[in-house]
């Protein structure tokens, strides 16, 4: 697949274009990308009905590939394997419901889908379709499957659709896709050599052998931080309460249940780590006495005596070494910045991530967040973004703090 001349080879992108009306935007995307990267375009047969292969061949100075079997095929090479090996990144834009379904279910029946199945590079998918198709449970399940496998999925934009409807399903503008691509290709091992602890999920406090007290935390934010930290090269220890999430690759997971369990896990690891990011939603109280047997329903009311759990973040702040970075989280429903700033200072944190449960897109269990970052001397409000993007931003900030402390 060749390299350009000069002292440094450009990164290689395989651009897969599937058959939707948003194909016309892929022309601009391809043109922009070809100025910075080596780009090989694969059109599906339906995509070729929307935009001519000649357009992409002219823009990339390479043949635009469609068929696995054609008069021009070099059968001394297995083309989809060659493409998979060549690519530093595979981008699917636009990604129709059909190509998403193929990817999620391992279907490989044309050049585009076989290349995607063989790819070992990062993959970026940019869905574009009518909102009815996008919101269909099958499509959402397929997107969720791809996300769990580590494939990057950009959110479709909302606006005027080709069918005349107004809704979610537009392909993001090329500049946004290009920015995402640049971020993925520039992802370097910036955290290599650092040891990071991340806490995630809820804790559960038993009432009896059947019942317990907990909260709505899904663990998604903490798991996103652990995943991105590992990708950036860190040695990651994830201390996790009970969640229903896949373990991130290259992450050491310590499973805990109660707040006391989590405290002991943090105590056992904090002294020899560089950063601690406390994203877990730890129960503030536990039962003074847990019943040995199931409590039977007898009275009209039931009184439970609760005692305060140890404050893990405060303990970590009290035992923080000068070279270490401590980041806390604060979920509030009122007086967000005031409460968050007080927590930041009281717990001796270097950084605190604050979000308001009542803000749309910032609640539990979702894939997005809206946060404000607070330092002792300043703050920064962030827009709605995916938890993965917030994790990347947060880790960059923590790394800057670490570098400042360890000059």
Catalytic sites, residue numbers: 163
Decide the pairing of beta strands 351-356 and 285-287: unpaired
CA separation for the pair 133, 139 (Å, rounded): 7
For residue 160, say whether it is annotated as part of any ligand binding site: no
DSSP per position, 334-402: SSHHHHHHHHHHHTT-SEEEEEETTSTT-STT-SEE--EEE-SS-EEE--SEEHHHHHHHHHHHHHHHH
> For residues 180-206, b (16+ Cβ closer than 10 Å) or e, as one string?
bbeebbeeeeebeebebbbbbbbbbbe
For residue 329, say whether it is annotated as part of any ligand binding site: yes
Q: Provide the 10 A C-beta neighbour count for residue 20.
A: 28
CA separation for the pair 356, 212 (Å, rounded): 25
For residue 310, say whether it is annotated as part of any ligand binding site: yes
Pick the closest to residue 242 from 289, 285, 282 (CA basis): 282
For residue 79, say whether it is annotated as part of any ligand binding site: no
CA separation for the pair 14, 17 (Å, rounded): 10
For residue 267, say whether it is annotated as part of any ligand binding site: no
For residue 294, say whether it is annotated as part of any ligand binding site: yes
Running DSSP on this structure, what letter comes out for residue 207? S
β partners of residue 124: 91, 152
For residue 180, say whether it is annotated as part of any ligand binding site: no
For residue 172, say whether it is annotated as part of any ligand binding site: no
For residue 11, say whether it is annotated as part of any ligand binding site: no
Binding-site residues for CTP, in ranges, read 284, 294, 310-313, 329, 343, 347
Binding-site residues, in ranges, read 284, 294, 310-313, 329, 343, 347
């Amino acid at each position: 697949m060749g390299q350009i001349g000069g002292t440094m080879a450009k990164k290689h992108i395989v651009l897969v274009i599937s058959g939707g009306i948003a194909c016309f935007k892929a022309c601009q995307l391809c043109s922009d990308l070809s100025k910075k990267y080596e780009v090989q375009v694969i059109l599906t047969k339906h995509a070729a009905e929307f935009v001519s292969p000649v357009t992409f061949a002219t823009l990339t100075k390479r043949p635009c590939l469609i068929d696995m079997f054609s008069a021009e095929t070099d059968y001394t090479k297995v083309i989809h394997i060659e493409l998979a090996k060549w690519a530093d990144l595979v981008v699917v834009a636009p990604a129709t419901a059909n190509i998403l379904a193929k990817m999620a279910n391992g279907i490989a029946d044309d050049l585009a889908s076989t290349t995607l199945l063989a790819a070992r590079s990062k993959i970026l998918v940019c869905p574009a379709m009518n909102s009815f198709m996008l919101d269909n449970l099958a499509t959402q399940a397929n997107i969720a499957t791809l996300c769990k496998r580590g494939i990057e999925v950009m959110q479709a934009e909302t606006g005027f659709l080709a069918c005349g409807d107004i809704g979610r399903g537009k392909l993001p503008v090329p500049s946004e896709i290009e920015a995402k691509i640049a971020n993925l290709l520039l992802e370097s091992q910036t955290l290599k050599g650092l040891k990071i602890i991340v806490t995630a999920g809820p804790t559960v406090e038993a009432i009896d052998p059947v019942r317990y007290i907990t909260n709505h935390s899904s663990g998604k934010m903490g798991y996103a931080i652990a995943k991105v930290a590992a990708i950036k090269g860190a040695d990651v220890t994830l201390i996790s309460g009970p969640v229903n999430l896949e373990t991130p690759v290259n992450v050491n997971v310590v499973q805990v249940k109660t707040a006391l369990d989590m405290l002991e896990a943090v105590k056992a690891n904090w002294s020899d780590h560089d950063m601690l990011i406390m994203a877990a939603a730890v129960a503030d109280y536990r039962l003074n006495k847990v019943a040995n047997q199931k409590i039977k329903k007898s009275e009209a009311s039931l009184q439970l005596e609760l005692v305060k759990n140890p404050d893990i973040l405060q303990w970590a702040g009290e035992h923080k070494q000068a070279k270490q970075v401590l980041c806390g989280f604060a979920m509030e429903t009122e007086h967000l910045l005031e409460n968050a700033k007080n927590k930041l200072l009281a717990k001796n944190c270097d950084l605190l991530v604050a979000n308001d449960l009542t803000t749309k897109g910032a609640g539990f269990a979702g894939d997005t967040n809206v946060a404000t970052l607070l330092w002792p001397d300043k703050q920064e409000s962030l827009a709605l973004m995916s938890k993965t993007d917030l994790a990347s931003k947060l880790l960059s900030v923590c790394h800057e703090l670490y570098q400042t402390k360890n000059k």
